[in-house]
Amino acid sequence: MKIFKVFFDIEKEEQWLNKQLQEGYRCTNISGLGIYTFEKTDKRYVMRLDYQDYLPKKKFMEYKGIYEDFGWSHIEGHRLGGRQYWQKEDGDQNEIFSDRQSMANYYKRLMGYSLSLCMLMLFVGIPCADYSELYHKGLWSMHGDLFWKAFLFETPFALLKLSPVLLGIFFGTTSYKFYRKYSLLKEK
């Protein structure tokens, strides 16, 4: 079974994947384009996601080896960074983070990644677009039905012009969410 789905929130993606596993499917592949491949199974599986920055080849092999020693299978992920997908049969140790410090480091990596995307979007979006003219100048002089048709037609294009700034705001709030989780783990 193949399912196309796009996630911006790593925690929601993990929840969705585990729901699929609870329904009796095992994940066999995850493509970079958001295509998840599952196969029916009688065994119970659990999946955990991690985010890693760039790791040299030797460090990446050590990283994978540690998890594989505890029964986890690496489904998808690259040493260049990004999401790492881990799956194993449901058992007594179903968490990949063994303590508060490793969980805090996870949220710190996610916070840094989200903040860098926020800055990139704002860096690209703010100076490159002319927000004074989101809509065509003649739109505001139209009346009645013609105005609403033109307004509705131009709105998707206006949102497209705003998309880098909107994405910057989204990634900024995501970064703040991860910062809050990181700071709560560091406080206790």
At 89 the pLDDT is 87
59 lies in the same domain as 118: no
Residue 106 in any domain: the answer is yes
- What pLDDT, on a 0 to 100 scale, did the predictor assign at position 177? 93
pLDDT number for residue 131: 66
Task: Name 85's bridge partners.
Answer: 49, 76
Per-residue pLDDT of the chain (188 residues; tens, 9 = 90+): 888 998 888 889 999 999 999 988 888 989 878 899 999 988 889 999 999 999 999 999 999 998 998 889 999 998 888 899 999 988 777 888 888 888 898 999 999 999 999 999 988 877 766 666 777 788 888 888 999 999 999 999 888 888 888 899 999 999 999 999 999 888 76
Q: Kindly state whether residues 160 and 130 are assigned to the same domain.
A: yes
Instruction: Match 């710190």 to its residue by tokens.
Output: 108
pLDDT in tens, 24-73: 888 898 987 889 999 998 888 999 999 999 999 999 999 999 899 888 99
CB 34 within 8 A of CB 5: yes
Taking CA atoms, 126 is separated from 29, 166, 170, in Å, by: 38, 10, 15
Based on the domain organization, do 137 and 166 belong to the same domain?
Answer: yes
Give me the residues paired with residue 118 across strands.
Answer: none
Mark whether 109 and 67 lie in a shared domain: no
Domain boundary among 59, 89, 119: 89
| Whether 134 and 175 share a structural domain | yes
Q: Which domain-ending residue is among 89, 124, 154?
A: 89
What's the total number of domains in the chain? 2
CB atoms within 10 A of CB 113: 21
Tell me the residue range of the domain where 108 lies.
100-187
* Pair 74, 105 in one domain: no
End-of-domain residue from the set 58, 89, 120: 89
pTM higher than 0.85: no
List the structure tokens of 77.
């992920």
Nearest to 53 by CA among 35, 25, 77: 77
Listed residue (108, 100, 60, 105) closest to 84, CA to CA: 60
Q: What is the pLDDT of residue 95?
A: 85
